[in-house]
Structure 1
């Protein structure tokens, strides 16, 4: 009986994560229409993407406070209610400061869902949570695939971008209802207390703050998240402006990239039992660099299609593998994970706005070339991480 109730919570979390993926990717899919209709600059559009990333980061600090005062169920219910409100506000295209505020809160909702989902699955499944977490994260990729795909279909049928937004609005409202009606008593609140009880001991071990390897991983994620957020937010606009494909094709292509990302994550999970993490990170970095260089340098539609799908495949496993690679360094430290998350999140906040600012001067197609910097540093830091890991192993032998 309890297993059925656990599955009910798990399925609610999967639905919430899938809708979260849709809610994030739909912004990038409709961004060209918002820029054209609202008459905003690329810099302003980049600020909207950065605002969403800032809201996502702020959830790490605000959601735990809400949970401590309201409980998990009530906190996530009230926070997720803001998602449909934010989407409705965006559909009205109000003055820019209001749009920015809506995206900030929208990001907070996304971050809160991520925290709740991961903690809930860990709480109810304990030591058997690994396979469930893999399925949970795949559900996000499914939603991320569906959003641009649905957008492309709607536009092909003659509907405008607001129709897509209202559909996602309805789905996010359903998310709030599902979270608000889950059985909170099944969530193991003792695990939260245990974490709090260990926090003092964890915080005493801060040796990772003096470790170059720790910061190497953090800045791999810094440059990686900058690249990923720009792909999510800017690439429909970029592909449309290259002039080699229609808006519908560009939207659908970004959508199918997320199917490849889902497959890539499953393959990386399988490879993790055979290869060490630093090797996987290096392989993924080199593969993503090759695909990115091909994507930017060609005007051939088949090559652009293949390179974007390849880019999604190789980028897919970098984040989770880096987090796993940093695990032995931070040794479960809450501070360590907070520092790692903060440094990496800054890349996702800063980079889209830089691209937007440059795009106002030289155009979106030329400005995407700035991401060469991100790719270069991901490769460089991955090589250093690989060499340090294998040098350490040689010394131990």
Structure 2
């Protein structure tokens, strides 16, 4: 939904809204995205502590992540259908407020049922925030949307990198796993409080005129949208599968020490951060289509060559370079699709993130199945091939 702001009259003249207030509100969204990303990567390190606390079987503990993903998928579908007909800042604030409350609920959960419900709510609220924040960021300043969306996803990548460090710091300080949820919940509550006090937020929700949202069916019928969704599916499939299995592959197949496996994933995510910052700088000079296909093909080729050496140091370096080459894929896709469907930005971004959820759920499992049926060497080629397919499919995208 595109909102038209009524002019504010001062001494008989029109006054242009102060862009600095909008920039401060956008910084609040960046901070909220950083806090959302912390919860994405802190769950893994916390899981052994949660299992011990509730005396859970591995399969039952794994259902917590399934509940989280289920909540996320339901929220993304709802966002695709309704978010363009609602004030997006209200959805951003409401979603993040529920996210904060859900984190507190997980931190004080006394039994598994409450914990599972909290994980469901964390997944639903964070995914709703994510989809709508991307749409609103792309819509906020269309002429510089590529820059702002890239910075939004850079904030996410930094948060994802910091998440495990946040957990290890608390654990080394002797605190329980609950402290991670409670501390993050408090930070999230503070962030949403700052966001709703921005004058830009108040001006947007009080706007009296709005352009009617475009047709959801028009987005669903567009072939270019489905090509972009395929790019997202394979990229997130690559990212999720590569991040999950890279440490184990380095340790079991290439004989690398445990510390190198952890360092390789950190370097991969550091490369993604650099790639997203580069995408923001390149936005005005290089077309999004070119960034997508060159990044996918170059990243896939680098990984294939370093994988073929069977040298853990070379593969770690390849992970860093692949992260740099392909780091801008997600923000570039959001910018491209929201530009195509300016009246349905939430629908477009929600479709992309629905494909991302599918890729995130299927890829690690598929790699494990192929590995069990053949070998880890064959299974680990899947995320490498997926990145190459990102570049190949992106060639079919229209220029604009």
What is the TM-score with the length of structure 2 in the denominator? 0.72
Cα distance in 2, alignment partners of residues 100 and 361 from structure 1: 32
Tell me what 1:301 maps to.
312
Q: Does 1:104 align with 2:120?
A: yes
Deviates more, 1:117-126 or 1:328-337: 117-126
Q: Does 1:82 align with 2:102?
A: yes
Q: Does 1:321 align with 2:332?
A: yes
Q: Does 1:374 align with 2:349?
A: no
The aligned runs of 1:33-44 (5 Å cut-off) are 40=58
Deviation at 1:142, TM superposition (A): 1.8
Residue deviations 1:244-286 (CA, integer Å, cap 9, x gap):
3444443343223322212111212222323322222111111
Q: Does 1:203 align with 2:215?
A: yes
Cα distance in 2, alignment partners of residues 50 and 139 from structure 1: 25
Question: For residues 220 and 194 of structure 1, do their structure 2 counterparts lie closer, same or farther at Cα, with a shift above 3 Å needed?
Answer: farther
Cα distance in 1, alignment partners of residues 248 and 332 from structure 2: 29
Deviates more, 1:257-266 or 1:287-296: 287-296
The aligned runs of 1:178-327 (5 Å cut-off) are 178-180=191-193, 182-183=196-197, 186-187=200-201, 188-189=203-204, 197-199=211-213, 202-203=214-215, 206=218, 209=221, 211=223, 213-242=224-253, 244-294=255-305, 296-327=307-338
Find the residue that maps to 2:125 and give its secondary structure.
helix
Question: For residues 5 and 277 of structure 1, do their structure 2 counterparts lie closer, same or farther at Cα, with a shift above 3 Å needed?
Answer: closer
Residue deviations 1:218-251 (CA, integer Å, cap 9, x gap):
2111111222223444444554544634444433
Tell me what 2:11 maps to.
none
Tell me what 1:16 maps to.
32
What's the C-alpha RMSD, in Å, of the aligned pairs? 4.5
Question: For residues 343 and 256 of structure 1, do their structure 2 counterparts lie closer, same or farther at Cα, with a shift above 3 Å needed?
Answer: closer
Deviation at 1:317, TM superposition (A): 1.1
Tell me what 2:76 maps to.
60
Tell me what 2:180 maps to.
167
- Bigger helix fraction: 1
Q: Does 1:27 align with 2:43?
A: yes
Residue deviations 1:335-363 (CA, integer Å, cap 9, x gap):
55544443444223332333355566668
CA contact (8 A) 2:76 2:127 kept: yes
Deviation at 1:150, TM superposition (A): 4.8
CA contact (8 A) 2:153 2:331 kept: no
CA contact (8 A) 1:31 1:233 kept: no
CA contact (8 A) 2:103 2:184 kept: no
Find the residue that maps to 1:275 and give its secondary structure.
coil
Residue deviations 1:164-200 (CA, integer Å, cap 9, x gap):
77335412332123314531664143598766x422x
CA contact (8 A) 2:212 2:343 kept: no
Residue deviations 1:85-104 (CA, integer Å, cap 9, x gap):
33665xx9x76x87765543
Deviation at 1:216, TM superposition (A): 2.0
Deviates more, 1:273-282 or 1:349-358: 349-358
